[in-house]
């Protein structure tokens, strides 16, 4: 008697990669725009990035149906927060909310690998990285998704402090200027799309800084 | 309205077919400070008088944003109003979440009215003591509704509720035909003039009133004090000249109004029928 295997899965992986880098007064959040299933491409122009609050942006890869549901949940909760507190949620507050929302479904998780970026209350860039059930950490940079195994080592090489004694975890921002960070993101995606079949088509880059939120695009390999 | 043996319970009818507890709840609305609303084809303006308990305290919040396209002004028991606003906000959020589109105002007021009706037919509840002026924009245009504690609701071109609202209503009745095609700014000016009528002599300043606007391309928001003061200053110069003449006219009309009200209660016309 062999154990019965499921003939249907509630999940699917739509692929893609996300990256976020925090700076002293800005945050760059980027994701590719390819949505795939198996070895097929569903669309080349799907946004994985969602603006949750004035200074808080989330990029998620994984199962996009769960991602959409998660984004809607957070948007509704944010509206309630605004009604009650008469102000927008700060990025750290949203980070905790996202963690709680994910853990709420600990036993039927959102198949969503998230990276949250924005400015904290003092205007400093912050990036929070998550697993599917809400474990999170404030970091200076992060990458999630199908290309993360290719992207993270490169970011570590460029940005990781050689020792926590030199740059403490609390300070978690990179020493880069905004333009350098955007350049790094473009480089990193160009490299990832060479070898990861699920990453490509276009990058959507969102920059959050004191003047507001700005969006730009860059073409990637279509194969 | 005099105390009698049929008014202890909301579930007790009087021999004349009235529910006195519900009528008493509507009295509570008349005791609250004034709130007015008026609409054009594309905009709705809500205004209210800020009444503070004492010089030391702040005034109560009477205008609430419910959603980008809906706002509400209340008069009466503000605590009840706050609770109903929270209900309305939740309904809008849930509808938006499910249907990815804004809740039509007409639906919201019906839900609100049904909620109020429940409290008129349960022995362990009491009616909400608050009147709501619901201003909202949807696909069918700009709407202004009045929801009362009785569970009735009506649509209006312009309306005023709360204490001394009759003065504002008289002003609005004179001017309402021009509202449909009025510009947004003219509508706000009319709202300020209507509020001024309820103040009866007291100077109109931005600290005494609150104005909120919702319209096509303009999400619901409360105007800040500086903007309101500017608008007051803009027309006050003209207003002063009209002032004495209007005041004299009002005093004459206020007395017959009061007499009519007394006679109606004696004859037994239930206010809910109006």
Give dist(CA B67, CA A200) in Å, integer.
39
pLDDT-derived band at B270, boundaries 50, 70, 90 = low
SS3 B193: helix
* B207-210: long-range pairs with CB below 8 Å, 24+: B207/B50, B208/B49, B208/B50, B209/B47, B209/B48, B209/B49, B209/B50, B210/B47, B210/B48, B210/B50, B210/B62, B210/B63
**Average model confidence (pLDDT) across chain B:** 87
Token pair 């510009």 is at which residue? B183
Instruction: Look up residue A147 and give its two tokens.
Output: 């290309």
Residue numbers in B near A80 (CB within 8 A): 89-90, 93
User: What residue ranges in A33-140 does DSSP mark as E strands?
Assistant: 35-37, 40-43, 49-53, 56-62, 112-119, 125-130, 136-139
Residue A3 at interface with chain B, using a CB cutoff of 8 Å: no
Q: How far is CA B220 from the centre of its chain?
A: 16
Does B93 sit within 8 Å of A76, measured CB to CB?
yes
CB B132 within 8 Å of CB B116: no
Each of the 223 residues of chain A gets a pLDDT tens digit; together they read 899 999 999 999 999 999 999 999 999 999 999 999 999 999 999 999 999 999 999 999 999 999 999 999 999 999 999 999 999 999 999 999 999 999 999 999 999 999 999 999 999 999 999 999 999 999 999 999 999 999 999 999 999 876 666 666 666 778 899 999 999 999 999 999 999 999 999 999 999 999 999 999 999 999 9
In chain B, what residues touch A83 (CB-CB under 8 Å)? 65, 86, 89
The answer to whether B96 contacts chain A (CB < 8 Å) is yes
Chain B within 8 Å of A72 (Cβ-Cβ)?
yes
Rg of chain B (C-alpha set):
19
Angle of helix A64-85 relative to helix A91-104, nearest 10 degrees, comes to 130
Please report which residue ranges of B100-162 form alpha helices under DSSP H.
105-118
Predicted local distance difference test score (pLDDT) of residue B216:
95
Residue of B nearest to A79 (CA): B93
Contact A215, A203 (CB under 8 A): no
pLDDT in the model for residue A171: 66
State the best of B96, B100, B102, B219 to mutate against chain A, taking most chain A CBs within 10 Å.
B96
Q: Tokens for A221?
A: 């390999």
What pLDDT score does A167 carry? 65
Which of A107, A89, A109, A108 is CA-nearest to residue A97?
A89
* Residue partners of B254: CB distance under 8 A and separation at least 6: B166, B167
d(C-alpha A126, C-alpha A51), whole Å = 15
Closest among B19, B113, B36 to B75, alpha carbons compared: B36
User: With bands split at pLDDT 50, 70 and 90, how would you rate the model's confidence at B263?
Assistant: very low
The CA distance from B89 to the nearest CA of chain A, in Å, is 8
Confidence tier at B271 by pLDDT (50, 70, 90) = low
- Rounded mean pLDDT, B98-105: 97
How many C-beta neighbours within 10 Å does residue A187 have? 12
Residue B38 has pLDDT above 90, yes or no: yes
The pTM (predicted TM-score) of the whole model is: 0.85
Q: Whole-angstrom Cα distance, residue A24 to residue A126?
A: 9
How far the first Cα of chain A sits from its last, in Å, is: 44
Give me the pLDDT at residue B53, please: 80
Per-residue pLDDT tens over the stretch B54-63: 888 888 889 9
Residues belonging to chain A:
223
Helix extents (H) in chain B: 20-31, 78-99, 105-118, 165-175, 184-199, 225-267
Strand ordering across the sheet containing A202-209: A141-145, A17-22, A26-32, A202-209, A212-219
Predicted local confidence at residue B248, as pLDDT? 42
Rounded to an integer, what distance in angstroms lies between the CA atom of residue B77 and that of residue A74?
33
Average pLDDT for residues B225-254, to the nearest whole number?
62
Contact A152, A143 (CB under 8 A): yes
Q: Using CA atoms, how far apart are residues A42 and B242, in angstroms rounded to an integer?
A: 68
Contact A76 B65 (CB under 8 A): no
Q: Which tokens sit at A140? A: 């200076």
B175 reaches A (C-beta below 8 A) = no
pLDDT reported for residue B267: 41
Chain B hits for A79, CB-CB cut-off 8 Å, are 89, 93
Distances (CA, A) of B238 to B232, B242, B244, B255: 10, 7, 12, 27
Decide if pLDDT at B245 tops 80: no
- Joined together, the tokens standing for residue B141 give 């245009």
| Count of alpha carbons within 13 angstroms of residue B42, beta-carbon side | 9
C-alpha span between A15 and A26 (Å, rounded) = 27
């Amino acid at each position: 008697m062999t154990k019965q295997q499921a003939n249907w899965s509630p999940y699917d992986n739509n692929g893609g990669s996300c990256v976020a880098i925090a700076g002293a007064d800005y945050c760059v959040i980027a994701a590719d725009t390819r949505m795939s299933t198996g070895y097929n491409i569903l669309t080349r122009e799907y946004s994985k990035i969602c603006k949750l609050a004035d200074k808080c942006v989330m990029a998620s890869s994984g199962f996009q149906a769960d991602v959409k549901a998660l984004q809607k949940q957070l948007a509704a909760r944010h509206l309630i927060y605004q009604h009650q507190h008469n102000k927008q949620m700060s990025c750290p507050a949203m980070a905790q909310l996202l963690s709680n929302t994910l853990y709420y479904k600990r036993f039927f998780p959102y198949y969503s690998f998230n990276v949250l970026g924005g400015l904290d209350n003092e205007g400093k860039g912050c990036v929070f990285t998550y697993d599917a059930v809400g474990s999170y950490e404030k970091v200076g940079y992060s990458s999630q998704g199908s290309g993360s195994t290719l992207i993270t080592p490169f970011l570590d090489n460029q940005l990781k402090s050689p020792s926590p004694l030199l740059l403490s975890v609390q300070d978690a921002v990179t020493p880069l200027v905004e333009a350098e960070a955007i350049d790094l993101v473009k480089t990193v995606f160009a490299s990832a799309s060479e070898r990861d079949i699920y990453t490509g088509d276009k990058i959507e880059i969102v920059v959050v800084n004191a003047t507001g939120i700005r969006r730009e695009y860059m073409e990637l390999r279509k194969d | 309205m005099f105390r009698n043996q049929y008014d202890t319970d909301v579930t007790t009818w009087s021999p004349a077919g009235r529910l006195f507890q519900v009528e008493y709840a509507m009295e509570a609305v008349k005791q609250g400070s004034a709130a007015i609303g008026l609409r054009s084809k594309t905009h709705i303006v809500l205004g209210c008088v800020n009444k503070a308990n004492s010089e030391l305290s702040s005034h109560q919040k009477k205008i609430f944003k419910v959603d980008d396209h809906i706002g509400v002004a209340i008069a009466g028991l503000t605590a009840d109003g706050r609770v109903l606003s929270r209900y309305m906000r939740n309904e809008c959020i849930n509808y938006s979440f499910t249907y990815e589109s804004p809740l039509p105002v007409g639906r919201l007021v019906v839900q609100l009215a049904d909620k109020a009706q429940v409290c008129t037919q349960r022995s362990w509840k009491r009616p909400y003591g608050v009147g709501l002026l619901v201003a909202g924009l949807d696909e069918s245009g700009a709407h202004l509704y009045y929801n009362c504690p009785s569970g009735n609701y009506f649509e209006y071109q312009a309306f005023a509720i709360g204490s001394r609202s009759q003065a504002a209503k008289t002003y609005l009745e004179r001017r309402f035909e021009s509202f449909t095609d009025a510009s947004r700014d003219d509508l706000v000016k009319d709202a300020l003039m209507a509020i001024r009528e309820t103040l009866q002599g007291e100077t109109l300043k931005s600290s005494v009133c609150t104005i909120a606007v919702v319209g096509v391309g303009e999400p619901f928001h409360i105007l800040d004090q500086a903007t309101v003061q500017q608008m007051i200053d803009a027309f006050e110069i003209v207003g002063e000249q009209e002032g004495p003449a209007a005041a004299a006219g009002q005093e004459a009309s206020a007395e017959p109004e009061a007499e009519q009200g007394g006679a109606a209660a004696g004859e037994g016309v239930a206010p809910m029928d109006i």
